[in-house]
Amino acid sequence: MIENISWLAAILCVVAATIIGGLWYAPFLLGKAWMAELGKTPEQLGNPAEAIITSMIMNLIAGIVLQIVMDWRGVETLSGALSTAAIVWIGFTGSMSLMHDRYHGARLRLTAINAGNTLLSFLAMGAVIYFVA
């Protein structure tokens, strides 16, 4: 299992997800809407360094786990990689995000913004793993 991990693919998954997140939450895309849904200003959120580092570590873990799942499924095509990424996202990330957001009263728009970022990141990771691993 761990012996089949491509560490290059795992690192590139982090790079892809970080770029996607940086663009997704930039003010010129969905950053302003995201801030409005949070009801916070950039000043209130403070220095994002800890959140970015945490995100990178979590994306590394996600990239490794996605590789394991793709290996278990015997993925041999790009469509197989993308469908596996989407299934993993729906089953674990998308569904759990919606559940947790319902408990703390987040509006569906905030859930959609965050879930859209993770879906796009998972699809990018699936493609990275397919082409690199």
**80-128 confidence digits (pLDDT tens):** 999 999 999 999 999 999 999 999 999 999 999 999 999 999 999 999 9
pLDDT on residue 1: 62
CA distance 112 to 104: 15
How does pLDDT run across 42-80, given as a tens digit for each residue? 899 989 999 999 999 999 999 999 999 999 999 999 999
CA distance 24 to 30: 6
CB 6 within 8 A of CB 133: yes
**Average pLDDT over every residue of 28-54:** 94
In terms of Cβ atoms closer than 10 Å to its own Cβ (0-12, 13-18, 19+), residue 86 is middle
